[in-house]
Amino acid sequence: MIDLDSIESLIAIERTGTVHAAASTLGFTASAVSQQVKRLERDLGVRLLEREGRGVVLTAAGRRVADEGRSLRVQIETLRSGLHDAGDRPTGTIRLGAFATGVRGLVPELISHAHENAPDLRVVIDEIDPWDAVAAVTAGSLDVALIHHWEGVGITLPPSLRSEELFRDVADLLVHRDDPAASRDAVTPHDVHDRSWACTPDGTICHDWFRHMFQNEPHTPHIDYRCLEFASQTALVASGLAVALVPRLGRGILPDNVVAVPVHEPVPTRPVSLAWRASMTSAPAVRYLRSALRELSPQQHELSGAK
């Protein structure tokens, strides 16, 4: 009998290139993933993996099993979704990926809402960047994902996914209260391109937007502090060492000596969306999350606004 979990492990190995990386994405030990694949090889009577350097690659038979496994997963998810009608209460476990400020700004309310309105549903949260979240939902290691992108820097979804925009978040320039910009009603990128900046590292979606924002300036500002956490950037601003562009969602209360100044031309705006596999559109748990997040999504005046 073919074990679907073993096929999922094989698909994860194909995607990540190593047994250890596959185990990490699936939440298993490397030993468990190896045993699953070996059991699948015994059941099918073919070799599915072969070593290549420090990693592994799928054999021709392994690639076929992975391809057929993905199709089988879609069929099973579609079947399960189709067995439920709109009145069914969500049950079981659903795996939700969310970016860091989404975890802080939305997830606590979502979990409280689920405990009250969907008590038979267990929502498991993984904090994950939007690009990685899209890949994880596509691969099946996550069921749904809260994602964002900045206007001007898009995020591409494969045909197997669906998405729904929930709301739009805005970022402000954070400056020390003694900074000349602190008294301004608003600033443009040109007004602050010569400052010392704190920003997320190269290759992150926020860093890409930072470069986009200053694309019409003579040069990109100097980034002296590369920090993944916006809280770290805010601490640097509070110390008078840098300025930073920080979204309102999940930002919390700013220190007394930090001022949030609106930015325009352009306004730093990021649409926040929920993404899921098309085969799960009718699943009660997905329908519940879509409805709950629409209900809980903050409007711009409710987000931690600028001064």
76 against 65, higher pLDDT: 65
The parent domain of residue 191 ranges over 169-269
CATH number for the domain harbouring residue 112: 3.40.190.10
The residue behind tokens 């600033």 is 187
Domain count, the chain: 3
Domain boundary among 82, 112, 143: 82
Q: How far is CA 130 from CA 97, 148, 205, 217, 290, in A?
A: 9, 6, 8, 28, 17
For residues 107 and 163, state if they share a domain: yes
CATH number for the domain harbouring residue 21: 1.10.10.10
For residues 155 and 24, state if they share a domain: no
- Whether 307 maps to a domain, the answer reads no
Q: Are 181 and 258 in contact (CB under 8 A)?
A: no
Q: What is the 3-state secondary structure (H, E, C) of 226-269?
A: ECCCHHHHHHHHHCCCCEEEEECCCCCCCCCCEEEECECCCCCE
- Whether 240 maps to a domain, the answer reads yes
Contact partners, residue 108, CB within 8 Å, separation at least 6: none
- Whether 87 maps to a domain, the answer reads no
Digit-coded pLDDT (tens) for 191-238: 998 999 999 999 899 999 999 999 988 888 999 999 999 999 999 999
> How open is the CA angle 244-251-269, to the nearest 5 degrees?
65
Work out the pLDDT band at 106, boundaries 50, 70, 90. very high
Say what the pLDDT of residue 284 is: 92
For residues 189 and 214, state if they share a domain: yes
- Whether 60 maps to a domain, the answer reads yes
Q: Quick check: 304 pLDDT over 80? A: no
Work out the pLDDT band at 82, boundaries 50, 70, 90. low
| Alpha-carbon gap, residue 125 to 261, rounded angstroms | 32
Digit-coded pLDDT (tens) for 11-38: 888 888 888 888 877 777 888 888 888 8
For residues 190 and 251, state if they share a domain: yes
- Whether 151 maps to a domain, the answer reads yes
Helix (H) or strand (E) holding 125: strand 121-127
- Whether 53 maps to a domain, the answer reads yes
Encoded tokens for 258:
């930090």
Digit-coded pLDDT (tens) for 262-283: 999 999 999 999 999 998 898 9
Q: Considering the entire predicted model, what is its pTM?
A: 0.77
For residues 174 and 127, state if they share a domain: no
